[in-house]
Copies of this chain bind each other. A is one copy, B any other.
Amino acid sequence: MPRSSGPVDSPARLSLISRHLAPDYPLNTPYTVERHPDNIDTSLLPKTQTRALTTDTTPANMSTQPEHATLLIPGPIEFDDAVLNSMSHYSESHVGPGFVAVFGETLSMLRKLFQTTDPSAQPFVLSGSGTLGWDLVAANLIEPGEDALVLSTGYFGDGFADCLKVYGANVTQISAEPGSRPQLPEIEKALSEKKYKLLTVTHVDTSTGVLSELKNLSELVHRVSPDTLVIVDGVCSVACEEIDFDAWKLDGVVTASQKAIGCPAGLSISMFSGRAIQAFQNRQTPPTSYFASMKNWLPIMQNYEAKKPSYFATPSPQLVRALHTALGQIVAQGVKERFAAHKAASDKIKAAVAALGLKQVAANPDDQAHGMTAIYLPENVKGAELLPKLASRGVVFAGGIHKAIAAKYIRFGHMGVSVLDPSRGHVEKAIKALEEGLSECGYQKA
């Protein structure tokens, strides 16, 4: 056989996958950003899984998932069949062209979900729980000894404060009574007393169902303390509550996959402004985490979005495929339509709760989340008694977790397919179960 020592195959074939198929491309390290040529041939590997999970006898819109209790807790939520199908995608290289294209599109679609067109804004998708987003903020956007102002509307606001303290931030916390939120005058006073590196707010605190206002809050911060970064915990709000990243001048929103985005748990998802990235780059000291370091991840995210393979730590191709499917559905529907659909379902649920004579933890209608409802139990009904009665009717609600009132309320999550796909009938089923369950517990509307 002739021995060829000349130039190799066509450039297109040569350009396949940086690491696996073209090892003499320049390597990137955690500390440099090396771009790869734009001529990746994505034709070799199939991009779409063809194994069908549905059968011909399945009517349109009917889920093919095995019968199971309807999960109506404030996350994880019920998932769409196509999203679950993506979870079982066959194995593929994390730096292969098929996956790189999917990851790149996923990052680009996140910009649409967050409503940002600012090219300096930067999405991150990391393997981890939503909590990892707190570390991402605390280890990169604030340095030990700097001041953070944490607005707390419950358990998760307190958690964000704890995380910031672990990384050495000096935390001032403004905490509201259960069911309410810190008010702007009090926040303005705090902002004018000290120069804070960042402010954090929990958009919807999953422990109380309290919705914080972002637009007016961000306006206040930019007016009173313009250098302070505005950081949002959007774990229970992204993809069900309006978030207008650019228009509201937000600097960071951290969230997770398993709530309104509608993808199984396991991904920390976030968006940071150019100003936040600049704050990171202006640090006097290095980031105080390795796995949650923007130094390590920033070049990787930029490369993937440019459809260029890159490596710091192995992502989960299956979870990213599922997120890609979920975001594709969100973008196809339109984010404003999605927010409106969640609001409509929430209005209906809250009316039904009121009709049952029940009160919400979030007393003021303006403070009530649209993806969940925290409901006070009637005086003589215990959650430990009621929740199993709902479960026996095929509906899973959550108990309370705000320590001051934990045993006094339950939580009803209404996000994603459960409100967007009326053919599932989840909302009606839940309201009926709640009504019957309460009645079985001896409750009668006064």
Interface residues of A (CB under 8 A from B): 1-11, 13-14, 16-25, 27, 30, 41, 44-46, 49-51, 53, 64-69, 71, 73, 75-79, 84-85, 87-94, 96, 126-132, 134-135, 138-139, 155, 158-159, 161-163, 165-167, 170-177, 180, 182-183, 186, 190, 256, 258, 264-266, 286-293, 311-319, 380, 382-385, 387-389, 391-392, 396-401, 403, 406-407, 409-410, 439, 441-444
Contact = CB atoms under 8 A, between A and B. Distances in A.
Nearest to A19: B399
B291 A2 contact: no
Nearest to A405: B23
A397 to B, nearest CB: 7
B292 A291 contact: yes
Contact of A406 (B27, B135, B177): B27
Given A77-B91, A93-B71, A384 B21 contact: yes
Contacts of A403: 11, 14, 27
Contacts of A20: 73, 387, 396-399
A23 B384 contact: yes
A30 B186 CA distance: 29
10 contacts: A1-B183, A1-B186, A3-B190, A14-B155, A14-B401, A68-B90, A76-B94, A127-B127, A131-B314, A266-B319
Contact of A132 (B7, B46, B180, B291): B291
Nearest to A383: B23
Contact of A318 (B21, B186, B264): B264
Contact of A161 (B10, B19, B174): B10
Contacts of A383: 21-24
A18 B384 CA distance: 9
Contacts of A76: 91-94, 314, 317
Nearest to A389: B9
A288 B291 CA distance: 12
A135 B289 contact: yes
A175 to B, nearest CB: 6
Contact of A129 (B5, B314, B396, B399): B314
A161 B8 contact: yes
Contacts of A73: 20, 93
A100 to B, nearest CB: 13
A163 B293 CA distance: 10
A14 B388 contact: yes
A265 B88 contact: no
A387 B96 CA distance: 12
